[in-house]
Amino acid sequence: MPRLASIEGGFMFKSGQSDFTKQFKVRFSEVDCRGYLRINNIIHTMLDATNEYYVAMALAKPGFEYLNYSWIVNRISIQASKYPYWNDTVVIDARRSPYKNIYDVWEVLLRDGRGDHLIRIVLYLVLLNVKLMQPVLLNHILPKEYMKETCSKDNNFKTIPSLERCDREAVFPVQFNDLDLNKHVSSFVYIKWACESVPAQILMEYQLQELDISYKKQTSQLGKKITSQIQSFQEGTQPSFLHRIIENGGTQELARLRTRWKKVSESKARRHLNLMNLKNIYTIVRL
């Protein structure tokens, strides 16, 4: 699988201050059955960071839709070295840069309270004219001071190959809670459809370590059936998958993904949760 530079290397951007910084604690409602921060909350955290930045620039809803523009996710890449646990402190550092006057590229780093890198996310956004359904050149919209290109030229996403066969598939309906403010299926939902198609043993015993997704086409019709197909392959000892999201009964791709998974130490997760429970009990007793 094509990879970004090592997560220990810091930002892929050449220089400059973070455009967005925020600290939060992982809440109980945000963790999976092992106590780790869920992938959907990681994606939501990233999108919230970019949206807060655009709102501050008056380049996102509310107040931006009257111009008939909307930010659309084009690509996402995730590289995780370690997932934060319930009640861990997480710091978000994010930087952005225009790229080729079409993409607004974001790099989001999640660090723990000690400053160690946990997860890196790279996000490509395109500004869309929703009336014409065409991308807008960024220099037509963004102020000049926001047009300095600082991201590395060698961080282009590699092409995700198409499936040669379908080893497994699952069908999902488009539900009301899948829709975003643009009334299209949210970018995370495609990732959820892809991951939920992975065999149960992988979901229970492994964690998503790397993910690349390229969005091809939007969908929005409630009740429409969506098919998530996967092709499995092996990278060393780590299970990996190619994914294709299509409309049920059709061939038009909505998204294409590649994922790689790493084994989870269940005993480590259990020890951590037991420690957190003891700390909470101690706090309650003191109160």
Locate tokens 């660090």: which residue? Answer: 111
How many Cα atoms occupy the beta-carbon half-sphere of 203 within 13 Å? 13
Quick: pLDDT tens for 151-189: 765 555 778 999 999 999 999 999 999 998 888 999 999
Locate tokens 């059936």: which residue? Answer: 225
Domain map (residue ranges) of the chain = 14-156, 158-287
Locate tokens 């790493």: which residue? Answer: 262
Six-digit token string for 262? 């790493």
Which fold, 158-287? Thiol Ester Dehydrase; Chain A (3.10.129)
DSSP state of 199: -
In a 10 Å sphere around its CB, with 0-12 CB exposed, 13-18 middle and 19+ buried, how is residue 84 labelled?
buried
Quick: pLDDT tens for 94-108: 888 999 999 999 988
Hey, what amino acid is at 49?
A: A
Residue 60: per-residue pLDDT:
63
Q: Are 245 and 194 in contact (CB under 8 A)?
A: yes
**Same CATH fold assignment for domains 14-156 and 158-287:** yes
The string over 13-41, giving b where at least 16 C-beta atoms fall within 10 Å of a residue's C-beta and e elsewhere, is beeeebbbeeeeebeeebbbebbbbbbbb
Residue 41 has pLDDT above 60, yes or no: yes
Q: Euclidean distance between the first and final Cα of the chain, in Å?
A: 51
Six-digit token string for 37? 């921060």
Quick: pLDDT tens for 214-227: 999 999 899 999 99
Residue 279: per-residue pLDDT:
56
Residue 47: per-residue pLDDT:
85
Averaged pLDDT, 64-90: 87
Q: Options 3.10.129.10, 3.90.100.10, 3.30.70.20, 3.20.20.60; which CATH number does 14-156 get?
A: 3.10.129.10
Q: Are 127 and 135 in contact (CB under 8 A)?
A: yes
Q: Are 157 and 214 in contact (CB under 8 A)?
A: yes
Six-digit token string for 64? 């931006």
More confidently predicted of 198 and 152: 198
Residue 283 has pLDDT above 60, yes or no: no
DSSP state of 216: -
More confidently predicted of 159 and 246: 246
Band of the pLDDT at 76, cuts 50, 70, 90? very high
Band of the pLDDT at 57, cuts 50, 70, 90? confident
The whole-model pTM stands at 0.84
Residue 25: per-residue pLDDT:
94
